[in-house]
Amino acid sequence: METENPKKWKSVIITWMAIVPIIFIIPPFLTPRLTAIGLNSILAQLISTTVLVIMMVYMALPVLTKLFGKWLNK
The b/e string for 23-49 (b: 16+ C-beta within 10 A; e otherwise) is: eeebbeebbeebeeeeeeeeebbeebe
Q: What is the reported pTM? A: 0.79
The one-letter amino acid code at 44 reads A
pLDDT in tens, 11-65: 999 999 999 999 999 999 999 999 999 999 999 999 999 999 999 999 999 999 9
Q: What pLDDT shows up at residue 69? A: 92
pLDDT category at 5 given cuts 50, 70, 90 is confident
CA gap 46, 24 in Å, rounded: 16
Q: How confident is the model at residue 3 (pLDDT cuts 50, 70, 90)?
A: low
